[in-house]
Amino acid sequence: MLRRPTIHVIDDDPLFLDEMRSLFQAQSYGEDMRTHSQIGDVDIQPGDIACLDLRLADGRRPSQTVQELTEAGASVIIVTTGASSAELQDCLRAGAVGVVLKPDVPDGLPSALATAFAGGVVLNRETCASLIGLSACLSENLRRLTELVAAGLSAEQAFPLSGLDVRHAARVQQDIRRELEQRVVGWPDKNLTIGVVDDHWLAVSGVKQVLHSGLDDRVNVAGAATVAELLSLPLEFDAVILDVLLADGSVPRDNVALLRSASAEVLLFTSLEPGDPSRDDDVNAAMEAGAKALIFKGDADRELLDALKDVLAGAMYFNLAWSRALSRVRSDMSLLTPREKEVFLKHRAGLSQQEIADLFYLSRETVKSHFKSINAKLNGRP
């Protein structure tokens, strides 16, 4: 028999807890509800929902509490009398799925709970306003939808203006949550130092803007026109975004080797179009030297954030650019299993990892595992 999820209300205001008990009894949630005055009393099970007051008296950062509840398997809804956009954004970064103001609880919380039960993100003004700073992490239609709701439109009004069908609202809310989990939740829990090496200052400026939009004040970004200039800075870089062809005539493979010797992960960033054998050789040699991602400058902002997140976790980033570059290194598919060949060809044809997972009824982690094996077999790298 499946266990019914429990709704945990965590608030140190006894009057508010009494109000919540009455509300939940009226909504027939009473037997599945637990109230807690401090976080230490909460026993979270996967699938539970936590309605968390932002202003607990324990002095902990709310985002830290959200992260712990999320890691335990809960969907977290922030319930607050008010907070700064930065605080709420930090909670969404940590995994919260919505924000409900306490005066709006009688009407707003039941629908927020339904959304959380269905695996989505709450589409109300408070939540969407807090998502504005994370807009680079969402696809274009989803970003437009959240911006319109943040501006004061109802979700029903915003859907058609975003090119989305309101009849598929639940799926859209799930898509927003999935994209946030992929691109926002789970970054290293520390301030990051990222380098950008490109001799076009507009490119450096653009990358800085994307990183600050996606990571806010948790990232320090330094730019330079050459690898030597970057490494002369008194900084230790977690990762470096490297233009493949620099005006100083340096060799891409050597640049990657220098950065790797400084313990920085490397993402290749290029405007080169595939097909020029000499340029393909530069890219492939750089990948062999230890670069873990290949991003085209015309790709969407979220592609760069996806790649950086995977690379900082120590993984290769497998996207269409990587797939096509790898297929030009070795076209012999006999080394691949039938499933790996299917996955590789679908990816090379333009399907995303999530689309491949959906097509073959696989988890996204299984698809990533296939890509890791493909890379080892065709490129000789684990």
Is 18 inside a domain boundary?
Answer: yes
Distances (CA, A) of 175 to 122, 266, 289, 320: 12, 29, 36, 21
Do 161 and 32 lie in one domain? The reply is yes
Q: Is the pLDDT reported for residue 1 higher than 50?
A: no
Q: Of 272, 278, 262, nearest to 224 (Cα)?
A: 262
Chosen domain end from 126, 161, 183: 183
Is 76 inside a domain boundary?
Answer: yes
Identify which has the larger pLDDT, 158 or 369. Answer: 158
Do 43 and 176 lie in one domain? The reply is yes
The total number of structural domains that make up the chain = 3
Is 142 inside a domain boundary?
Answer: yes
Q: Confidence class of residue 188 from pLDDT cuts 50, 70 and 90?
A: confident
The Cβ-side half-sphere exposure at 208, using a 13 Å CA radius, reads 15
* Residue span of the structural domain in which 366 resides: 330-382
Do 235 and 315 lie in one domain? The reply is yes
Do 253 and 360 lie in one domain? The reply is no
What is the predicted pLDDT for the residue at 29?
64
Contacts 24+ apart (CB under 8 A), 158-164: 158/123
- What is the DSSP code string of 355-380? HHHHHHT--HHHHHHHHHHHHHHHHS
Question: How many Cβ atoms are within 10 Å of 107's Cβ, its own excluded?
Answer: 9
Identify which has the larger pLDDT, 307 or 216. Answer: 307
Q: Of 50, 38, 42, 46, nearest to 96 (Cα)?
A: 50
Is 2 inside a domain boundary?
Answer: no
Where b means 16+ CB within 10 Å and e means fewer, 43-68 reads ebeeebbbbbbbebeeeeebbebbbb
Do 310 and 379 lie in one domain? The reply is no
Is 33 inside a domain boundary?
Answer: yes
What CATH number does the domain containing 357 carry?
A: 1.10.10.10
Do 142 and 216 lie in one domain? The reply is no
For 360-378, the pLDDT digits (tens) are 888 878 888 888 888 777 7
Averaged pLDDT score across all residues of the chain = 85
The CA-to-CA distance between both ends of the chain, in Å, stands at 42
Helix (H/G/I), strand (E/B), else coil: 275: coil
What is the predicted pLDDT for the residue at 74?
92
On the 0-12 / 13-18 / 19+ scale of CB atoms within 10 A, 217 is: exposed
What average pLDDT does this structure show over 151-164? 93
Give pTM, 2 decimals.
0.68
Question: How many Cβ atoms are within 10 Å of 224's Cβ, its own excluded?
Answer: 18
Query: What is the C-alpha to C-alpha distance for residues 120 and 287, in angstroms, rounded to an integer?
Result: 37
Chosen domain end from 137, 164, 183: 183
Is 1 inside a domain boundary?
Answer: no
Q: Of 142, 294, 307, nearest to 211 (Cα)?
A: 307
Query: What is the C-alpha to C-alpha distance for residues 245 and 254, in angstroms, rounded to an integer?
Result: 12
For 290-331, the pLDDT digits (tens) are 898 988 887 767 788 888 988 888 888 877 777 766 665 555
What is the predicted pLDDT for the residue at 158?
95
Do 373 and 250 lie in one domain? The reply is no
For 8-43, the pLDDT digits (tens) are 999 989 999 998 888 888 776 656 888 888 888 888
What CATH number does the domain containing 137 carry?
A: 3.40.50.2300
Do 334 and 320 lie in one domain? The reply is no
Chosen domain end from 183, 200, 235: 183
Lowest mean pLDDT among 61-70, 180-189, 350-359: 180-189
Q: Where does the chain have alpha helices with state H?
A: 14-26, 62-71, 85-93, 105-117, 125-131, 140-150, 155-161, 169-183, 201-215, 227-231, 252-261, 277-288, 301-312, 320-329, 338-348, 353-360, 364-379
Query: What is the C-alpha to C-alpha distance for residues 69 and 50, in angstroms, rounded to an integer?
Result: 8
Do 316 and 345 lie in one domain? The reply is no
Query: What is the C-alpha to C-alpha distance for residues 212 and 230, in angstroms, rounded to an integer?
Result: 19
Do 311 and 358 lie in one domain? The reply is no
Per DSSP, what are the bridge partners of residue 80?
Answer: 101
Do 287 and 313 lie in one domain? The reply is yes
Do 265 and 336 lie in one domain? The reply is no
For 220-233, the pLDDT digits (tens) are 999 999 999 999 99
Helix (H/G/I), strand (E/B), else coil: 199: coil
Query: What is the C-alpha to C-alpha distance for residues 41 and 36, in angstroms, rounded to an integer?
Result: 6
